[in-house]
Amino acid sequence: MRIDEVRDAAHRMRHHVLNMGEAQGQGYVGQALGAADMLACVYADQLSYRPDDPKWEGRDRFLLSTGHYAIGLYAALAEARIIDAAELDSYGCDDSRLPMSGMASYTPGMEISGGSLGHGLTVAVGMALGLRHQGSPVRVFNFLSDGELDEGSTWEAAMGAAHHQLGNLVAMVDINALQADGPTAGVLRTEPVADKWTACGWFTQRVNGNDVEALLAAFDEIAGRAAPVGTPAVILCDTRVGSGVPLLENREKAHFMRIDADEWQICREQLTAGYQEKAGVDA
């Protein structure tokens, strides 16, 4: 069934993330594990795309604002068969199409280069506006991090999207409560986040971003709205860094993780054990 398929996809993606991380011994592994359920919902349930034609004009656009989350997107692109899973082994290597920070010109299915934070939503707004002018039914999704809510450009874009009534735009914010310099609450207090998006004119929902059922219900709410012209929609997703791997869930300095050579296998075993346990409970 639908929920199980997405959960399975997220689980396979988490394994891909660990395998890619192991190849480098480090990386933005915690975020990618935390956001795996969000990305699985998008790629396994929401997006229209053609695996063999990543530039197909009719595809929904998925814009990753956060270039450093690329490892998570590569896992999703492999799951979506837009890139070959075998290519994941080249992650972060010289001449690889899968650099540590996402580059649109390198990777099929990577719509923008998002390393300079706070620009993804501005690009998404322009894209959504342009597609609507063309009469296209395509939707634009933008994945943001909570750190990007520190950027004024994000809020300018949010107001612009509501002003232009961009019902074809969906933003997803990974609220993992973490940034490069430490907890989000200590860097810049962005709460109450939901009130801010609502005040900007967005259809706003806040869910547990590691709960596939809740995420899919939020997407269904968006699709079911009776909005003739449109209101942009945002899903605020509270996630846990390292989700699915207890060893990494409680790690200090989680923004960029260094993981010892003997820990990767433990991570994989914990991931598999947790997933089997959950599947057993749900059965």
Interface with ligand TPP in residues 191-250 (CB under 6 A):
none
Q: How far is the CB of 232 from ligand TPP (least distance, A)?
A: 21
Give dist(CA 202, CA 230) in Å, integer: 10
Determine which helix (DSSP H) or strand (DSSP E) holds 169, and give its type and residue range: strand 169-175
The residue to which tokens 């399975």 are assigned: 8
Give dist(CA 119, CA 112) in Å, integer: 10
Give dist(CA 235, CA 46) in Å, integer: 14
**Euclidean distance between the first and final Cα of the chain, in Å?**
12
Q: How far is the CB of 182 from Mg ion (least distance, A)?
A: 10
Please say which residue, 88 or 254, places its beta carbon nearer to Mg ion: 254
Is residue 26 a contact residue for ligand TPP (CB under 6 A)? no
Is residue 257 a contact residue for ligand TPP (CB under 6 A)? no
- Contact assessment for residue 198 and residue 204, using Cβ atoms and an 8 Å cutoff: yes
- Contact assessment for residue 64 and residue 143, using Cβ atoms and an 8 Å cutoff: yes
Q: How far is the CB of 147 from Mg ion (least distance, A)?
A: 5
Is residue 178 a contact residue for ligand TPP (CB under 6 A)? yes
Q: Which of 37, 111, 146, 238 binds ligand TPP (CB under 6 A)?
A: 146
x/- mask, ligand TPP, residues 100-119, rule CB under 6 A, reads ---------------xxxx-
Q: How far is the CB of 250 from Mg ion (least distance, A)?
A: 17
Q: How far is the CB of 209 from ligand TPP (least distance, A)?
A: 12
> Which residues, in sequence order, are bridge partners of residue 258?
26
Give dist(CA 146, CA 87) in Å, integer: 30
- Contact assessment for residue 242 and residue 249, using Cβ atoms and an 8 Å cutoff: yes
Q: Which of 107, 145, 168, 205 binds Mg ion (CB under 5 A)?
A: 145
Please return the burial class of 90, using the count of CB atoms within 10 Å of its CB with bins 0-12, 13-18 and 19+. Answer: middle
In the list ligand TPP, Mg ion, none, the entry touching 25 (Cβ below 5 to 8 angstroms by class) is none
x/- mask, Mg ion, residues 164-183, rule CB under 5 A, reads ------------x-x-----
DSSP code for 100: S
Please say which residue, 49 or 143, places its beta carbon nearer to ligand TPP: 143
Site size toward Mg ion, by CB under 5 A: 5
Binding site for ligand TPP (CB under 6 A): 31, 66, 68, 115-118, 145-147, 176, 178-180, 255
